[in-house]
């Protein structure tokens, strides 16, 4: 889907000062990404940007143009949300009008141990949850990518981001990623440059690799049959990091890809649409 150039609603003082603010996104809704571009008629230092109670780190295109990724979490309530920008001695306030979005529901049958874990597994699950949460808050402060993002596998996504899951008749959290129905053993490739921050087997997601792309952008790959990178390793776009499998809570072989942008759970296909290869999927 081609990018849609949007003007931020509620922009105050759009004609004042030397700054021009534009945005790009597929839509402004839960699970989406908005790219804010800050352009100045004169060189400016790194702007300060805050949205959804998060301080965001922009990256420079040149000394007069900066961009910042604003992630809209899947659970963001529709309505008015402020974005504030301090740049070049000016403060701008914007209003993002987040539209409501309906997500589908899916019913799956899995091993009951992944629905009601045994007491012996609860500490492990809690420790793993805390570990992964700590990673989201420890992203490198610089952009590690320069090339477009690429698909980790060549196959189409078959399970939509945001789907509300019911496992063995019990409602669970929304599906925070995209699933690709790739055959077991299919190579999984890094979607862009970054640093590998986790390589291990987790209770729910099985063999898992997490790549920090910098600036709060993470890729999380789950259910792998094997992992071929090490924690701390630097990777480039297209490097094989593992293979598709069926480990953890699954109904069969597939790749699960989660993307985080400054702690917001967003659709990986939005990332590809805005910063990578065009996609007809949504």
| Same-domain status, 116 and 76 | no
Q: Give Cβ neighbours of residue 252 (< 8 Å, ≥ 6 apart).
A: 246
| 173 or 153, higher pLDDT | 153
Q: Cα 61 vs. chain centroid, distance in angstroms?
A: 21
**pLDDT at residue 31 in the model:** 94
Domain boundary among 75, 98, 121: 98
Tell me which of 83, 98, 113 is where a domain ends.
98
Mean pLDDT of all residues belonging to the chain: 86
- Residue 232, pLDDT > 50, answer yes
Question: Does a structural domain hold residue 37?
Answer: yes
The band of 1, judged by pLDDT with boundaries at 50, 70 and 90, is very low
Section 177-197 average pLDDT: 95
Q: What is the pTM of this model?
A: 0.85
Phi then psi for residue 135, to 5 deg, are: -65, -40
Average pLDDT over residues 217-228: 97
User: Could you tell me the sign of the dihedral formed by the alpha carbons of 168, 169, 171, 175, in that order?
Assistant: positive
Is the confidence at residue 17, as pLDDT, over 60?
A: no
Same-domain check for residues 202 and 241:
yes
CA distances from 26 to 32, 162, 193 (A): 7, 16, 23
CATH number, domain with residue 88: 2.60.40.1590
User: Which of 64, 98, 132 is the last residue in one of the domains?
Assistant: 98
Residue 123 to residues 136, 170, 247, Cα–Cα distance (Å): 21, 22, 20
Give the whole-angstrom CA distance, residue 19 versus residue 3.
22
4 vs 140: CA distance, rounded Å: 29
CATH number for the domain spanning 145: value is 2.70.70.10
Q: Which residues contact 146 (CB under 8 A, 6 or more apart)?
A: 193
pLDDT at 224 over 90: yes
Q: Which structure tokens are listed for 93?
A: 């306030």
Do both 131 and 40 map to the same domain? no
pLDDT band per the 50, 70, 90 thresholds, residue 282: very low
């Amino acid at each position: 889907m081609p990018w849609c150039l949007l003007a931020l609603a509620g922009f105050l003082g759009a004609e004042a000062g030397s700054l021009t603010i534009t945005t790009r996104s597929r839509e402004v809704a839960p699970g989406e990404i908005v790219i804010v571009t800050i352009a100045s008629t004169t060189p400016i230092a790194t702007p300060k940007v805050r949205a959804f109670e998060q301080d965001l780190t922009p990256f420079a295109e040149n000394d007069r143009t900066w961009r910042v990724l604003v992630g809209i979490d899947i659970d963001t309530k529709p309505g008015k949300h402020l974005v504030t920008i301090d740049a070049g001695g000016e403060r701008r306030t914007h209003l993002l009008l987040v539209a409501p979005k309906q997500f589908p529901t899916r019913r799956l049958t899995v091993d009951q141990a992944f629905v009601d874990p045994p007491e012996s597994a609860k500490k492990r699950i809690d420790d793993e949850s805390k570990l992964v949460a700590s990673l989201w808050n420890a992203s490198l402060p610089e952009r590690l990518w320069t090339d477009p993002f690429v698909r980790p596998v060549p196959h189409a996504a078959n399970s939509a981001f945001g789907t509300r899951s019911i496992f063995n008749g019990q409602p669970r959290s929304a599906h925070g990623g995209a699933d690709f129905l790739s055959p077991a053993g299919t190579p999984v490739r890094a979607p862009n440059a970054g640093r590998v921050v986790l390589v291990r087997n987790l209770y729910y997601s099985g063999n898992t690799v997490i790549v920090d792309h910098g600036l709060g952008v993470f890729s999380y790959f789950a259910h792998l049959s094997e992992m071929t990178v090490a924690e701390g390793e630097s990777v480039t776009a297209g490097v094989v990091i593992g293979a598709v499998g069926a480990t953890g809570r699954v109904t069969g072989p597939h790749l699960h890809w989660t993307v985080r942008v400054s702690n917001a759970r967003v659709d990986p296909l939005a990332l590809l649409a805005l910063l990578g290869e065009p996609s007809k999927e949504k």
